[in-house]
Amino acid sequence: ELLKRTAQSRNRSTQHLSIFADGEDQTETDSNRVKDRTDMSARNRLNKIAQRIAQQGKPSPQLREAAKKTRWDIVRGDKVQVIGRHPESGKQGVIKEVLRKLDRVIVEGVNMGAKNVRGDKERGIPGKTISSERTIHYSNVSLVDPVKGIPTRIYKKVLDSGEKVRISKKSGAIIPRPEILKYRRKPVNSIVTESDTADEDAWAITYKG
């Protein structure tokens, strides 16, 4: 009887040790899983950071296309019409500015939107919201035929005088370059200061050979 009880006690001890060992194995397995998930999460974060850094130095496809562009048939002062699937399609206006680096234009009175203007607390000037023109992609505008008043494609021609002109394919009329191009957007400062060279000094003969 004593031997039987001793054997049973040993079996129970063995079972307890086995359960304890299994528990340790399970704990170690769970710990490894948590560690793997943590490592994977850290790798994902690092990959996302690396992608963002790489994208910061890489221009968008639109900017790359704009950089390749060498021909600009539409210039400041031209009358154009919005075409294509643009929400403002059909509206006409005059080009205020051509943003060549962005391949976009600003058309006077077209594609209006709200713009927040910051105020100046020190001067007591409150902020306000104004309406201003938003940019339109260059491909969404077309020159307007001066005779028919409709959008048209053009071709270029050199006249006998040597002048290069734009010809409307709709009517064959010449689309002249806008007069505004003859004037600088930022006028040259005509005020003479001390740092400027006087006319008589500029024409003076200073070399004596």
pLDDT tens by residue, 85-96: 999 999 999 999
pTM above 0.75, yes or no: no
Task: Match 């009880």 to its residue by tokens.
Answer: 5
Q: Please name the amino acid found at residue 192.
A: V
Q: Determine the topology of domain 66-182 in CATH.
A: SH3 type barrels. (2.30.30)
Q: pLDDT at position 85, please?
A: 92
Residue 37: what pLDDT?
A: 66
pLDDT tens for residues 112-127? 999 888 888 888 888 8
Burial class (CB in 10 A: 0-12, 13-18, 19+), 135: middle
**pLDDT beneath 50, residues of the chain:** 2, 20, 197-209
pLDDT of residue 74: 95
Give the per-residue pLDDT at 181: 82
**N-to-C CA span, the chain:** 137
pLDDT at 165: 94
Query: What are the sequence ranges of the domains in the chain?
Result: 1-58, 66-182
